[in-house]
Amino acid sequence: MISYLYNIFLFIVTIYASQFPLPISKCPEEDSLRNCLDQYQFKGPVYFRDNFSAYNKDIEFEFSWLVIYFPIAFIHPLDEFDVQSAIQCAAELNIPTVARSGGHSYEGYSLGGKDCSLVISLVNFNNITIDTISQTAVIGTGISLQPLYYKVQEHMFAFPGGTCPNVGVGGLMMGGGMGFLSHRFGMSSDNILDAQIVLANGTVVYSAKKYPELLWAIRGAGNAGYGIITALTLRIYPIPKIVTRLSIEYDFDQTPLLFSVLDQLGPNFHQNLTTYILINSDSGPSTNIDCIYLGSADELRHHVDVQEFIKLSKPKNVTYIENDLYHIEVTGELLAHGYFKSLTFFFDQKGIPYEGIKYLMKFMKSFKCVVHSETLLIAGGKINEIRRNETAFVHRGFKYHIAMFAHFPDAHSEETEECFQELENFSQHVLQNYASYECYQNLVDRQLDNWQCRYYVENFERLVEIKQKYDPYNLFRWNQSIPTTTNISCNVLD
């Protein structure tokens, strides 16, 4: 009796210590899944709902807590054979299955997108092997960008990843991956050379190069439901010992001038310079430009187009900081877990119209919650040198991409609901009036209409055909995964 009461006490303490009200009931197939994993001699840790502490830690691992789901279990395989066992059990029991690398899906898709999905955590796939002769890296998909950046820097190489060092490589790279080296080296997905993947039928594919259509899909839609990818082979690039961070500060009211000058001169910037325009609403709106240049500050000061841009855009302050690339890339505070929502907009070669910039500024001033935007200058860079159908990442030929990140105070308050609706109204207005039809699939938005065509455009139907071949029973599924059937055509958009 004492033992029973003590267990109840521990349960209550765990629930109240948690960020989330953990479910008490079992998922329908829980007992069958336990038995199946035992039969297949699964070796790694498995956390079901009754393991409150470990299960809750896996829930809280998610970057955004705005949308939380409760999986049937978190499975932590030790090798590809464990992944194979987990997939075979999930297939036998028809349990929707997802992979999780860094847990940065803004819509909770790395928790399955609904309750009682199976989450296969790749945290134990953390090896990094650098080959300087072939200029390649083989990495486990459970690592974040920071250890990859550190390891390649040790060998005086670099890889074009994202701007946030604690993002997991798996979802980021296979869905695109843009960051501070994109102008020179393209998207992360452009630099995937091979992959190891466990398919829905349990087959371990040690080289996706033997399946060209599968490799094509992985490079841009690999985070949308083709299998559990456990390793990637990447192309890496030799870089100079010293690189430069160029920071340019403006008054917020100078934002239209900044974009006007960048429209004219930005497409001629050297490819070694990747340029972001950062606008923040916190503590009053502010506008800055943040660049990384692969070379010294003296070299950058001799680039006529950059110096002309600085002169004409009339900044408050200009700062050049030299360091090795790793310390440049990981400088600054890492965002903590919270309640986030992302938006995505591409703009064609005409740029962002003046009225669109004014609308963005008005929104930044009036938005009740905190919002941050990152505008990447794409024009003149490597991303646009690749054909639209060369990989599953279709978004080529654009001038800018804006990624927006809203931070809410909590999940369900009245203030959050108001901010959420304001954000949705803003997104609809920008998509209808100023931006391209296309959106970036790494910044998922469950409210996005016709997401199939916005994320994948003319590549969507081919992606469905490949899905039919490699996952015909749709084991890897959530709200915005590639389906096995469709009546949607994205070749002609209204």
Portion of the chain with pLDDT greater than 70, in percent: 94
**Cα 257 from Cα 425, distance rounded (Å):** 26
Q: Which two tokens stand for residue 353?
A: 């119209």
Q: Please tell me whether residues 266 and 140 are part of one structural domain.
A: no
**Per residue in 408-423, pLDDT tens?**
999 989 999 999 999 9
Residues 6+ apart with CB under 8 A from 143: 101, 125, 126, 128, 168, 169
Report residue 3's pLDDT band, with 50, 70 and 90 as the boundaries: very low
**Domain identity same for 266 and 344:** yes
The verdict on 297 and 398 lying in the same domain is yes
Residues 168-189: tens digit of each pLDDT: 999 999 999 999 999 999 999 9
Domain limit, last residue, from 238, 264, 283: 238
Q: Judge if 192 and 262 occupy the same domain.
A: no
Mean pLDDT to the nearest integer, 339-367: 97
pLDDT for the residue 25: 86
Predicted local distance difference test score (pLDDT) of residue 55: 96
Asked if 116 and 180 sit in the same domain, the reply is no
Compute the average pLDDT of residues 424-445: 98
Q: State the first-to-last Cα distance of the chain, in angstroms, to the nearest integer.
A: 68
pLDDT per residue as tens digits for the range 82-128: 999 999 999 999 999 999 999 999 999 999 999 999 999 999 999 99
Q: For residues 486 and 64, give the distance between their C-alpha atoms in angstroms, rounded to a whole number.
A: 30
- Number of CB atoms found within 10 A of residue 449's CB: 9
Average pLDDT of the residues of the chain: 94
DSSP characters for 248-273? EEE-GGGHHHHHHHHHHHGGGS-TTE
Please, are residues 194 and 136 in contact by the beta-carbon 8 Å criterion? no
CB 262 within 8 A of CB 277: yes
**Domain C-terminal end among 238, 265, 284:** 238
What digits encode the pLDDT tens for the residues 257-266? Answer: 999 999 999 9
Residues 39, 75: one domain?
A: yes
Of 209, 238, 267, which residue sits at a domain end? 238
| Domain around 157 | 128-238
CB of 222 closer than 8 Å to CB of 175? yes
**pLDDT of res. 238:** 98
> What Cα–Cα distance (Å) separates residue 33 from each residue in 78, 92, 151, 209, 273?
18, 9, 38, 33, 51
Do 226 and 310 fall within a single domain?
A: no
Residue 14: the pLDDT is 39
Distance CA 216, CA 177 (A): 15
Domain of 192, CATH number, reads: 3.30.465.10
**60 and 157 both lie in a single domain:** no
Residue 255 belongs to some domain of the structure: yes
pLDDT at 374 over 50: yes
Q: How many domains does the chain have?
A: 3
The H-or-E segment that residue 245 falls in is strand 243-250
The pLDDT, as a whole number, for residue 2 is 35
pLDDT at 333: 59
**273 domain residue, yes or no:** yes
User: At 455, is the secondary structure helix, strand, or coil?
Assistant: helix
Residue 297 maps to a domain? yes
Decide if 448 is inside a domain. no
pTM (two decimals): 0.94
Tell me, yes or no, whether 261 and 190 share the same domain. no
Q: How far is CA 82 from the centre of its chain?
A: 25
Higher pLDDT, 24 or 324: 324
Higher pLDDT, 21 or 314: 314
CATH of the domain at 115: 3.30.43.10
Note whether residue 300 is domain-resident: yes
Tell me the two tokens of residue 232. 């990637």
The CATH number given to whatever domain includes residue 291 is 3.40.462.20
Going by pLDDT thresholds of 50, 70 and 90, the confidence category of residue 492 is: low
User: In this structure, are 158 and 72 located in the same domain?
Assistant: no
Question: What does the block give as tokens for 237?
Answer: 């690039």
* Whole-number pLDDT of residue 479: 96
More confident of the two residues 331 and 390: 390
Q: Angle CA(354)–CA(356)–CA(359) in degrees, nearest 5?
A: 110
Distance, in Å, from the CA atom of 36 to the CA atom of 197, rounded to the nearest integer, reads 22
Which CA distances in Å does 446 have to 106, 403, 424?
A: 9, 16, 11
Mean pLDDT, residues 385-401 taken together: 98
Structure tokens at 78: 């030790």
Confidence band, pLDDT 50/70/90 cuts, at residue 283: confident
List CB contacts of 345: < 8 A, sequence separation 6 or more: 401, 402, 404, 430, 431, 434, 435, 436, 439
Mind listing the pLDDT tens digit for each residue in 395-411? 999 999 999 999 999 99
Please check whether residue 166 lies inside any domain of the structure: yes
298 and 185 both lie in a single domain: no
Is 491 a member of any domain?
no
Residue 1 pLDDT greater than 60, yes or no? no
Residue 490 lies in a domain: no
What is the pLDDT, as a whole number, of residue 74?
98
Same-domain pairing of 225 and 248: no
pLDDT digits (tens, 9 = 90+) for 32-65: 999 999 999 999 999 999 999 999 999 999 999 9
- At 332, the pLDDT band (50, 70, 90 cuts) reads low
